[in-house]
Structure 1
Amino acid sequence: MRLKEQIIHQSMRLFSLHGFLNTSMRDILEAANTSKGGFYNHFKSKEDLLFAVLGEARRLWKERSLAGLDQTGSAVEKIRKFLTNYRDNYLGDRDSIPGGCIFVALAMELADQKPHLAREVSEGMSGLKRMILRILKEGIASGEIRENVNAQAAAELIFSGLLGASLIYSVDKSIENLDRSIGIFIDYLDGLSPLNPSARTQGTGPPKHERRK
């Protein structure tokens, strides 16, 4: 791994664990096994590094969370696939983000002290909500989801719930609690089917075949 890539990788790990503000330049240099000169050969500042980390984090998120969605025809199955990808492939990558979702952690940390950076972090999160809304609308149009479902409200529920589950996971690192949260979202999705007119808002966890081995 080249030095620039090493600095980005180690910084992503540190930011996911401790946040941007609580990670010092010394922490970064030690983790990347480099000097100030080595760092400034590649980055103008710590904020410049953050933008590079966010770029790599977005690439990683898309690669892990969206894998296989294009090959999934059903709207509900697309969201189900995304949720299980997010849990198993993205949050499961303890090498890159041992502290949990870096976007959730940084958005919370930077909102008050560095709002211009928080806006940069939150940009992708808004895109996620739009993606969920688009897929739900496709499901309603195709008849897979009941026509009386409020797509905007459903997207907000799934999006907000996922952020909450991610925040809790960043604190307790409990796979059991994360599985339970993802299971609730999957139960809710199943309840949107015309074959299941009473939409469920609670669940005891993912079906047995969905649980992480």
Structure 2
Amino acid sequence: MTKAERTRQFIIEQSAPLFNTKGVAGTAMSDIMEATKMAKGGLYGHFESKEALSCAVVDYCLTSLSEKITAAMNKEKTAKGKLFAYLDFLSNPENPPLQGGCPMINFGMEADDTNAVINEKVRKGMEWSVKRVTNVIIEGIGTGEFHASWNAREFAIKLFTMMEGAIMIARVMGNNHNIGTIIKMLKAEIEAQVV
């Protein structure tokens, strides 16, 4: 990595918690300058605009989240274990895996009507999540761990949307009371599919 690439990465990493917490509109260049200890000219030397930086930050946040989810799931040997690991990984929105919370919720809600580029990035992140869960279920069906009749994609969509909704509710209400109920229900449904 060149010095310019390292500086660019540093700016992204220092800006990510700001954008993921305050949003794109709520993050000012002065916030980024304070976080990076860089002058405005130095920032613009690496990113032509706040918009360009925000797109790089969204990519970084979504990639970080997917890497952390994958690492948690890969610690498990069974398909059921991987699905449980996915749920457990997201079980504490008061202490989220990324500072500021779930970037899909944060950036998705802000960008749905205001930024088509970021909205598309979030859409792809959501599709990745559903596909990841779908593939684990298909793998479990293939190894005889789950019933062959289980509709993998349908359950993956259900799991993803219930978890994202539960995360949003937990963040708004300031507690994890409801997410435990959702996880218990989803785990029971997974258990019911074990052969």
TM above 0.5? yes
What's the RMSD between the two structures over aligned residues? 2.4
2:21 to 17, 23, 31: 17
Counterpart for residue 63 of structure 2: 59
Q: Which has the higher contact order (CA 8 A, sep 6+)?
A: 2
Q: Residues 44 and 169 from structure 1, CA distance in 2 versus in 1: closer, same or farther, beyond 3 angstroms?
A: farther
Counterpart for residue 112 of structure 1: 113
Partners in 2 of 1:179 and 1:11 — Cα distance?
31
What is the CA-CA distance between 1:161 and the residue it aligns to?
0.8
2:64 maps to amino acid: L
Residue 86 (str. 1) matches residue 90 (str. 2): yes
* Higher mean C-alpha deviation, range 100-109 or range 69-78: 69-78
Identify unmatched segments of 5+ residues in structure 1.
195-213
2:47 maps to amino acid: F
What is the CA-CA distance between 1:111 and the residue it aligns to?
0.7
Q: Is the 8 A contact 2:33 2:40 kept in 1?
A: yes
Q: Is the 8 A contact 2:94 2:176 kept in 1?
A: no
* Higher mean C-alpha deviation, range 50-59 or range 13-22: 50-59
Counterpart for residue 43 of structure 1: 47
Partners in 2 of 1:77 and 1:43 — Cα distance?
42
Partners in 1 of 2:64 and 2:170 — Cα distance?
19
Q: Is the 8 A contact 1:67 1:85 kept in 2?
A: no
Counterpart for residue 184 of structure 1: 185
Q: Residues 123 and 31 from structure 1, CA distance in 2 versus in 1: closer, same or farther, beyond 3 angstroms?
A: same
What is the CA-CA distance between 1:3 and the residue it aligns to?
5.2
SS in 2 for 1:29: helix
Partners in 1 of 2:77 and 2:24 — Cα distance?
39
* Identity across the alignment (%): 29
Partners in 1 of 2:88 and 2:127 — Cα distance?
20
2:68 maps to amino acid: R
Partners in 2 of 1:130 and 1:59 — Cα distance?
15
Residues 146-190 of structure 1: CA deviation (Å, up to 9, x unaligned) = 222222221111111122122223323423433333333222211
| TM-score (normalizing by structure 2) | 0.83
Partners in 1 of 2:63 and 2:175 — Cα distance?
25
Partners in 2 of 1:83 and 1:77 — Cα distance?
10
Residue 27 (str. 1) matches residue 31 (str. 2): yes
Q: Residues 171 and 40 from structure 1, CA distance in 2 versus in 1: closer, same or farther, beyond 3 angstroms?
A: same
Partners in 1 of 2:39 and 2:180 — Cα distance?
41
Identify unmatched segments of 5+ residues in structure 2.
1-5
1:148 maps to amino acid: S
What is the CA-CA distance between 1:126 and the residue it aligns to?
0.4
Q: Residues 32 and 87 from structure 1, CA distance in 2 versus in 1: closer, same or farther, beyond 3 angstroms?
A: farther
* Higher mean C-alpha deviation, range 178-187 or range 143-152: 178-187
1:111 maps to amino acid: D
Residue 153 (str. 1) matches residue 154 (str. 2): yes
Q: Is the 8 A contact 1:14 1:23 kept in 2?
A: yes
Partners in 2 of 1:39 and 1:7 — Cα distance?
8
